Amino acid sequence: MRRYVIAGNWKMNLGPKKAVELIEAIKEEIKGKETAGCDIVCCVPAVDIAVVAAACEGTPIKVGAENVHWAEKGAFTGELSADMLLEAGAEYVIIGHSERRQYFGETDLTVNARVKAALAGGLKVILCVGELLNERELDITAEVVAKQTKVALKDITPEQMANVIIAYEPVWAIGTGRTATSAQADEVCGIIRNVLCGLYGENIAEATTIQYGGSMNAGNAAELLSMDNVDGGLIGGASLKAPDFATIIAAAQ
Ligand code: 13P
């Protein structure tokens, strides 16, 4: 009953011209193929949103941003509000990516502020959680992802959960080529689902899309996506290669 969602996170790659070229290549790859089994999202640099949204019109590809500020507007030099992202053509936004937590001082509380603002503004949220390597080695993965999930979702209503996707991204698997095993991915996505069950009850927990992210690629996607608790992927490097991204989309059908 929950939707598979295959989302690319382009990170800080490709300006508007190359972004449109990649979208055109993805469109070519998926043309005539079955895609109805999943939602397809490309989360792109903010400067690409408008041109990418235009290029995706009339296709199954939806557009997302990579971050959003918590204020509606004002003196926040360099930031972007939910309204501005929506107007540019974004439907989704990634919040709490580990790179923002690691390099830009993002905390569970700022993640919560952004999630609230994004949902109030009408964006769909891809909320990222995941443990560091040393946290896994200390055997506190369950506690870490539970805390990140609970704080990020503070004050989010059951109704708003229809617009929340959670992406489990173990930090040690991001950009390293070291993927979580399908059993590890399934286990932690299941832990997150249990946290949602505690917060919102079984119906919402069962209806929420929980993605895996971290070195997902054309070769390992089918196995990861076959797991009960893995409802899609948040894909970095492989989402920048049209044939690989299309292979992952095909694996989700
Ligand atoms: P990679 O797929 O490049 O490991 O990146 C994963 C990621 O961070 C997606 O948000």
Name the closest-CA residue to atom 7, ligand 1: 236
Cα–Cα distance between 245 and 253 in angstroms, integer?
13
Residue of 66, 69, 97, 135 with catalytic role: 97
Neighbouring C-beta atoms of residue 158, cutoff 10 Å: 11
171 lines ligand 1 (CB under 6 A): no
Express each pLDDT in 162-200 by its tens digit: 999 999 999 999 989 889 999 999 999 999 999 999 999
- Number of domains the chain is built from: 1
Q: Is 169 a catalytic residue?
A: yes
Q: Is 55 in the pocket of ligand 1 (CB under 6 A)?
A: no
28 included as an active-site residue: no
Query: Could you tell me the CATH number of the domain that includes residue 157?
Result: 3.20.20.70
Q: If you average pLDDT over every residue of the chain, what do you get?
A: 97
Q: Is the pLDDT of residue 207 over 90?
A: yes
Work out whether the CA dihedral 224, 229, 232, 236 comes out positive or negative. negative
Is the CB of residue 130 less than 8 Å from the CB of residue 147?
A: no
What pTM did the predictor assign?
0.98
CB 127 less than 6 A from any atom of ligand 1: no
Count of Cβ atoms closer than 10 Å to residue 94 Cβ:
27
Residue 43 domain boundaries: 4-251
The residues near 158 (Cβ < 8 Å, ≥ 6 apart) are 200, 201, 204
Q: What angle do CA 26, 13, 25 make, to 5 degrees?
A: 15
